[in-house]
Chains A and B, each alone.
Chain A
């Protein structure tokens, strides 16, 4: 089924088209949710909520950009809203506490693959993780992140700096990447 046919079908509330769209994008979107969520169950809740929004707001898609990007934005916003309902998240995202965080080695897997990077990101504290996800992976600016999370732009920047630093440490600890002086060589080798 072509993407256009899927869109038309979804606009007519046809279950087959909706299923096709879901099958096509849900694996990628669940991975997005998983990076934000506490566990898989939460991630599936986010995915469910996000896809319902996608189908209900299908008529607002104006064919100006990539369809996947449009879905992804809805999913990310759903994840953030989901997290904001949690009081602990609101506290953690607004406090700088990078120095007090100790990453336990056993939480990080040893297989060097995409899943490994994702699991390393998930090992970060929730506040760091969220900012890192939004900035480095989803491509939002610090101003947008600040608006989304109801924090200062400077807070977003500092959270990100520390998150990135911590992630690098984890990756180095796990021999996923080399130390900074050797990093460039490793990156070349990895590609």
Chain B
């Protein structure tokens, strides 16, 4: 590649030396663009989660803002379609049918006008031929020409005009009406005779029609949104070097303090919060499956000290027991003593997808007592928290030692009370991070603990 003359030319060598020394620092935007290009899957995951959360919130908001309207519509629809028909309406329908002058031969088509009123009820009787349209079918507004010819036999074009009204009524009451009966005496019969038949007919229709109505489906899905103030802490564990340092090969070589790590750190709990939404699916009367999305902001406080910049070394575990690697950087935060005391805050922003079960223990209707448990695959959004060096002397930051994906377990118990179609719940909860915050390379393990008081609302999706 290089031509031999190149190195002999001092001018060129000078230029090369000088230009190689030159460095420029790119803006943050460059890395963000590179990162976005390389991690589209992660970006899609975040976008997908955002869409899901937004969806749940929109559904919840919609249900919260317009519950009364929806309920009114639902109830009205049920009253119209499902409840027993008004006997007066049925009587009016039959009255119209009876007013046809049956003593005269009348064209068949005009009869449809008369029978139009009773079709919605009469057709219900024709179950044997499966020609039964919905009871709510509106034949009242149909033009005569559009009334179907295959309506039940006893009111179709084949009906005999000479049939008595009583027989017609009887026919209506029976799935297989007699055809061709003599109804020549209809004009002589008293209308009072029909009243009794009408009543019988109406009773039958009311009872029989109800059997064909589709039962209302019970909705098994419930949405839920919740928020919870939490108190966060951590538990530290790891190899107790005071006992094993002579045999374990990957003991940090820079270790100067031996013993349990908990004896060397001064940390206190701090307040965080949690919010999220989930969907519940009712498996049985008392048991529901739940899945959702949740955001957690956790933090705790570490007491540390400012110092002059000094080397901070983190010895890493080796999988093979030899060739232990280490990470070294500069820090101005000490664990034990320094120029001035300082409270560090380790903050964790987590996105998780709780999946679990919720069980009703006692209660019915309005007031209930429930318990729930979830497993929460969790994604850590930030990795800029302080980490203790393995000699316990300094705190530093090392993003590569933080585990992105983790698993949390959650337990909760709560009282719930239903008001105005919404179920409110309050109760304590406990959340524990099952895997260490740090990767396996870091010898110290940290498990986050959260105690919270959850407040939530839920509603059945109708």
Which positions in A face B, CB cutoff 8 Å? Answer: 1-2, 5, 9, 13-20, 22, 26-28, 30-31, 34-35, 40, 43-44, 47-48, 51-52, 55-56, 113-115, 117-118, 121, 135-137, 139-142, 144, 164, 167-168, 177, 183-184, 187, 190
Q: CB-nearest residue of chain B relative to A51?
A: B34
Give chain A residues whose Cβ lies under 8 Å from the Cβ of B34: 18, 22, 48, 51-52, 55
Q: Are A114 and B22 in contact (CB under 8 A)?
A: yes
Per DSSP, chain B at the interface is: helix
Interface size on B, residues (CB 8 A): 34
Which positions in B face A, CB cutoff 8 Å? Answer: 1-3, 6, 10-12, 14-16, 18-27, 29-31, 33-35, 37-39, 325, 327, 383, 399-400
Q: Are B21 and A114 in contact (CB under 8 A)?
A: yes
Give chain A residues whose Cβ lies under 8 Å from the Cβ of B24: 27, 30-31, 34, 40, 43
Give chain A residues whose Cβ lies under 8 Å from the Cβ of B327: 1
Question: Contacts A31-B22, A47-B30, A187-B14 known; A136 to B38 CB distance under 8 Å?
Answer: no
Q: Are A121 and B15 in contact (CB under 8 A)?
A: yes
Across the interface, A44 reaches (CB within 8 A) one of B6, B12, B30, namely B30
Q: Are A137 and B19 in contact (CB under 8 A)?
A: yes
Q: Are B23 and A27 in contact (CB under 8 A)?
A: yes
A-B contact count (CB 8 A): 107
Q: Are B383 and A18 in contact (CB under 8 A)?
A: no
The CA of A93 and the CA of B399, in the complex, are separated in Å by 45
The CA of A177 and the CA of B15, in the complex, are separated in Å by 11
Q: What are the 8 A-B residue pairs with the smallest beta carbon separation, nearest first? A: A27-B23, A16-B400, A114-B22, A117-B18, A114-B21, A30-B24, A136-B12, A139-B2
Q: Are A31 and B23 in contact (CB under 8 A)?
A: yes
The CA of A13 and the CA of B37, in the complex, are separated in Å by 12
Across the interface, A20 reaches (CB within 8 A) one of B10, B22, B33, B400, namely B400
The CA of A31 and the CA of B23, in the complex, are separated in Å by 5
Q: Are A139 and B1 in contact (CB under 8 A)?
A: yes
Q: Are A18 and B21 in contact (CB under 8 A)?
A: no
Q: Are B39 and A167 in contact (CB under 8 A)?
A: no
The CA of A135 and the CA of B19, in the complex, are separated in Å by 13
Across the interface, B19 reaches (CB within 8 A) one of A14, A22, A55, A114, namely A114
Q: CB-nearest residue of chain A relative to B3?
A: A141
Question: Contacts A16-B400, A136-B6 known; A44 to B27 CB distance under 8 Å?
Answer: yes
Question: Contacts A136-B15, A187-B14, A190-B14 known; A44 to B26 CB distance under 8 Å?
Answer: yes
Give chain B residues whose Cβ lies under 8 Å from the Cβ of A142: 3
